[in-house]
Amino acid sequence: MQTSYSSSRILLPVRPWFIGCSLLLALLLNFLPTSVWPGVPDWLALVIVFWSVREPRLVGMGLAFLLGLAMDVADASLLGQHALAYVLAAYGGAALSRRILWFPLGQQALQVFPLLLLVQLVQFTVWAMVGADLPGMAYFLGPFLATFLWPLLTLILLLPQHQPVDRDENRPL
Say how far apart CA 147 and CA 83 lie, in whole Å. 21
How many whole angstroms separate alpha carbon 4 and alpha carbon 6? 6
The domains located in the chain, with CATH, are 16-167 (1.10.1760)
Q: What pLDDT score does 166 carry?
A: 61
pTM: 0.86
- Reported as a single tens digit per residue, the pLDDT across 14-61 is 899 999 999 999 999 999 887 667 789 999 999 999 999 999 999 999
Q: What is the dihedral of CA 102, 105, 107, 110, to 10 degrees?
A: 120
Burial tier of 39 (Cβ tally within 10 Å: 0-12, 13-18, 19+): middle
Tell which residue, 47, 52, 65, 149, has the closest CA to residue 98: 52
